[in-house]
Structure 1
Amino acid sequence: TCKVARLSPHTIRYYTYALNSFLGYCQTLGINTVEEIEANHVRLYLVKLQERNNPTSVLDYYKAVKRFFNWLIEEGILSKSPLATIKPPRTEQKIIRPFTRQQIEDLLATCGDSPIGLRNKALILTMLDTGLRVSEMSAIQLKDVDFDKETIIVMGKGAKQRVVRIGHKAQETILRYLLTRQDECPALWLSTTGTGLSTEGIKVVVRELGKRAGLTGVRCSPHTFRHTFATQALINGAGEFEV
């Protein structure tokens, strides 16, 4: 059903992992059919998750299980969901701090001018200019970048294509990085193994740069660049709807 609906591979992997975890737990309770699953079985599972996961992860599992039972109802397999009386687990609403200008300068200073350093610098500048999700950054192909129009075509969430703009510094750094490459890989960002840089690879790069720069008081992740982009856009006059 997910594949027919053309959900992203990431979403399908998420459902696969979460539901295998839940149904595997049900089997340890001696439950072998979905008709046998009751509300308390779900509650026991959530309590077990809370012992080794943060609240946000537990909520993600809850959402996957709820969607599974809603699908069973849509398909006519069940008439009622055991989650009908279970409220979503509460999560902490923490303030996500954007990078400061000094922190960004410190990150850029750790990159250097080696091929990998130029790639990392181009990654940072592109994320700051566009506010792209890490999955969107990873999926950029060389053919998607138009230096004449100063844009990148992005395939976003829900298979929706859009165009984002990049500034002169980002363009210049991307070009300098591309001049160091002698490969035929179609991906814009190249890993050290010669393949396209994955979402996890980008996360590792940003995390390691943060450690080398000695950043404190801020979460060093691609998503923080997304928040930084949004914050700076608002400060510089963009409307909330535009952001």
Structure 2
Amino acid sequence: MVKPAAEPEVESFLAMLAAQRGAAANTLSAYRRDLAGAAQIIGKLVQAGREDIAKLATAWVELAPSSLARKASALRQFYGFLLDEGLREDDPSSALPRPRARRTLPRLLGHEAVGALFLTAEADGAAGTPEGLRMLALLELLYGSGLRATELVSLPIAAVPRDAPFLTITGKGGVQRMVPVSARSVKALADWLAVRGRGGRFVFPSPKGGHLSRVRLFQLLKDLALRAGLNPETVSPHVLRHAFATHLLEGGADLRVLQTLLGHADIATTQIYTHVDSARLVALVNERHPLGKAANS
């Protein structure tokens, strides 16, 4: 099938997302792909009626619930934009298929597995090689500060302050936040910067210029996991970010504080981590609630 030309209204919608909501380039690309894919099925989106939209249910029947939800969200926002701009008088998005799925829980990495990763990385770092010191710094910032993979590999030198244990992170949508760095992470980062060499604007530069790629970061973590005796499929930058959040909650961190540290725009995104602390919460009720005390007496 010949790919249809992008509709002017779609480009206007994407421009609005970029200008008013600060949508990141990856987000805009995903919206463009989803809208173009829908247009290939039902024709011009701006002219589509409820009957056309309903056809998507059949075309998308094999999609994973998360993919279906994402595509439906893109169209729903697009038609909302058309209404706001007076380009349509009706909203056909109510005919979109609705996924029946709960949000998946993050894959968990326990304290013992994290300890095995650090034991291996610290042994590499103790050898004083640039590769070993870099890996230890990467691991410290992934697990110790909860950075996203993209935030970590694209971290500029300017984001590392000289006199404060914080990093200035530019997250999704270009939103900046301050992320605390532990004393051990500060040392690992300083050790790496001492052997990194001069030149370049990124903390983790690539030999070919620019910064370390996300793909290379994944590869380095998989290799570390293998050498630590773990299944490489269970370890990734995102899993370590989940471990950071999970273990902070286990230690008693406030959900709002965690939202700030992770750079979540919506507290609902952070609340997915509350399931991991269920055992501690039950124990807390049993130990501290008056009825719990009466039952245990």
Relative to the length of structure 1, the TM-score reads 0.83
Pair 1:195-2:210 in alignment? yes
Distance 1:186 1:79, change over 3 A: same
The Cα offsets for residues 213-241 of structure 1, whole Å up to 9 and x where unpaired, read as 45349742222222211222122232222
Greater share of residues in helix: 2
Give the Cα separation in 2 of the matches to 1:19 and 1:56.
Answer: 16
> Higher relative contact order at CA 8 Å, sep ≥6: structure 1 or structure 2?
1
| Aligned partners of 1:46 and 1:62 also within 8 Å | no
| Partner residue in 2 for 1:73 | 83
Q: Percent identity?
A: 24
Pair 1:9-2:25 in alignment? yes
| Aligned partners of 2:222 and 2:232 also within 8 Å | no
User: Unpaired runs of 5+ in structure 2?
Assistant: 1-15, 259-297
- Trace 1:117-128 onto structure 2 (pairs within 5 A): 117-128=132-143
- Trace 1:83-98 onto structure 2 (pairs within 5 A): 83-86=93-96, 88-98=98-108
SS at match of 2:167: strand
| Partner residue in 1 for 2:113 | 103
Deviation at 1:110, TM superposition (A): 4.8
SS at match of 1:242: helix
| Partner residue in 1 for 2:270 | none
Q: Which amino acid aligns with 1:42?
A: I
Pair 1:157-2:168 in alignment? no
Pair 1:44-2:55 in alignment? yes
Deviation at 1:144, TM superposition (A): 0.6
Give the Cα separation in 2 of the matches to 1:201 and 1:46.
Answer: 38
Distance 1:214 1:191, change over 3 A: farther
SS at match of 1:13: helix
Aligned residues: 237
Give the Cα separation in 1 of the matches to 2:57 and 2:148.
Answer: 29
Q: Which amino acid aligns with 1:56?
A: S
| Aligned partners of 1:46 and 1:58 also within 8 Å | no
| Partner residue in 1 for 2:5 | none
Deviation at 1:133, TM superposition (A): 2.6
| Aligned partners of 2:69 and 2:98 also within 8 Å | yes
Give the Cα separation in 1 of the matches to 2:115 and 2:189.
Answer: 18
